[in-house]
Amino acid sequence: MDSPHARAVFDEWLALKVNREDGEIPPVDGQSLTIADVIAVSCHRTQARLSDEPSVQQQVQDSVDFLQKKLADGTVIYGVTTGFGGSADTRTRDYERLQSAAIQHLNVGVLLEVDKGQTPLDNELLRSHALPPPIVRAAMLIRCNSLMRGHSGVRVDVIQAIMRLLSRDMIPVVPLRGSISASGDLSTLSYIAGTLEGNPDIFVKVGASNKIIPADQALPLAGLSPVRLQAKEGLGITNGTAPSCAAAAIVMHQANQLALLTQLLTAVGTEALYGTVRNYHPFISAVRPHDGQAEAAANIVNFLTESYMLVLGRDANYEGLAQDRYALRTAPQWIGPQLEDLLLATRQVTTELNSTTDNPLIDAVNGHIHHGGNFQAMAITSAMEKTMLALQNLGRLLFAQSSELINNTTNNGLPPNLCADEPSTSFTFKGFDVNMAAYMAELAYLARPISSHVQVAEMTNQSVNSMALVAARYALEAVEVLSLMAATYILALCQALDLRYQQRRFASSMKCELSQYGNRLSPHPNSEVEAVFSKAARSASLRWDELSHMDTPDRSAAVAKHFIGEIVDDMARICPQLTASDLATSAKEICDTLVEKFETERRVTGTDGCYGFLSLGSRLVYEFVRVELAIPLNRGVVDHPPLMRHAARGQEGVFRNSAANADSDPNDGPESWRHGKILGTMAGKIYEAIRDGRLNDRIMKLSMDQDLWTDAN
């Protein structure tokens, strides 16, 4: 089965890995920039340099030369001999002063003094008003790539100056707001141009030290002198979509990973909820041949390979729901369209990376200057709005699955709130259930389109404008919220896998014990006795699951009573010597046995590992959380940090794994988590692993090991 979305995620991960290992991205030539290149430079500070190919350099110089020729001929050129926007009815031949005027009227964004490194922030309600440095790095790279296409008339030396700042991680402090992404992100990019000018009131963040200095002091540190922008260079630097495209590239990188993670978590959820793999049978997608649906189903099935905890099918004697609920059963149909939208959005952003987004455009080859609207960033807005809606839909699916998992009336026999102790005094995941609702509401709010809120701007000249940078900023927030949901769900899934493993082992032990109970009650055991008690044992097992909301003693007593009730009608025939007193005694014995066996299972839950029973996908997630992140099963209210500290004072050393590690770091390992970490901290650790790519690394390595989306497949 072809998996174009998953394959694209894998290819991007591999390209990013190569970039980081090489320490630089391929030369910037205006033609071949990728999202992986942008992420390497913006998020990992990988080096970038301009292409030194003579043909690439020459096309840039040709545009400069052609522009000068047209100026010498007296040609009227927008933004070079005219004013800007609705003021383009003015004329001038003072080309350099005009470019300074362009930058001056665009340096209008609001930054806090603390953003500029001037004074400490006194008002704690104020958040930073600066665009995050990774977005600015990406914007510098993308704008240089566009300028190297040779359609803007900006000198190679000027482009190289931006790249020099980027290579030294000297990043202009750029306002967060103020762009309508119509004539490009004018104001946003003007701070990069202002840095080149050496403007003492434009500020630059220098390297990992986060030292912030004025641009006139930063330039000498980079070996640069202030640039006097020549004809069209101010406009050429600012009149483009690079900031919007930069934020969008970062969004797509993370959103595509979250889409793949959603498919993985759906597979894990299928195991945790004791669902069936037949939800994802290829026939279902073959008769409704949407590419995304077929891919999602195939990916989920691949993740479920090697599972011993799945329901392979439900026969006519199965009691309970005949099929899984929608959150599992229709997951391919729900996820599939999101994959298709994300693929289109990725193509739109990738195309924008290697586009000339300027006006006017210089065609030096054919000898023309074109006045058009390539600065209008609606392609990015379109990509971001599709992506935000896709993220919302993926979040809705995870929310539905999580709600089903935490609710004991829908989770097929797991305890309420996934508590590992007695449910009357433990509510482990109830708070997370509320959190998920809060996240979901916020995510749904963020998914609204920005394009429907466009305002007429700039003397009605910019009567339609894309708002692409705003759309990308909100898409980044959607990525953040969906990542929180995924982290919370992962923690719940690992808890559920441990409890499901406990449930299945106990069910097997209980059915075996009760099935053989007839041998003790009947003086002449035979096949009829065995059949009666086996049927009653199966019924008792189902009853046990139904009563998961009860504490163990009460639950055991109720199930024992149920078991006796199931066999009592047959007792007069197969065990006529039994009295009512005998049955009452048997019920007490069964109750005591169930309590003992369940408490034994409970004590070892989460310590003996369920790895061997899990699918490839569940094993990956479970091991990542339990081993790499060292987050253990939550044993219930006993793991509340104040109670742990109280218990520790009375029994020194009780929480150490063994005498061998008694002198090890007390803040290291699973036991320290039980000692002093709240549930939110555990979810937070998973969240960080999602955002920094560690979990995605494990998924990609699994795909390599299994040849899921590689060339070999």
3-state secondary structure 453-492: HCCCECCCCECCCCCHHHHHHHHHHHHHHHHHHHHHHHHH
Position 643, amino acid:
L
**Distance (Å, rounded) from C-alpha 615 to C-alpha 82?**
66
**Distance (Å, rounded) from C-alpha 175 to C-alpha 129?**
6
| Tokens found for residue 619 | 């094993």
Position 175, amino acid:
P
**Distance (Å, rounded) from C-alpha 405 to C-alpha 414?**
8
Cβ atoms of 356 and 440 within 8 Å: the answer is: no
**Distance (Å, rounded) from C-alpha 530 to C-alpha 519?**
8
Single out the residue of 471, 349, 262, 388 nearest to residue 37, CA to CA: 349
Residues serving a catalytic function are 78
**Distance (Å, rounded) from C-alpha 177 to C-alpha 112?**
12
Give the DSSP H/E element, type plus range, for residue 212.
strand 211-214
Distances (CA, A) of 345 to 41, 352, 486, 518: 21, 11, 22, 65
Give the DSSP H/E element, type plus range, for residue 179.
none
- 497: helix, strand or coil: helix
Which residues fall within 8 angstroms of residue 594, CB to CB, at 6 or more apart? 510, 544, 555, 556, 559, 560
Residue 74 Cα to chain centre, angstroms:
54
Single out the residue of 222, 170, 150, 161 nearest to residue 193, CA to CA: 161
Rounded to 5 degrees, what are φ and ψ at 422?
-80, 125
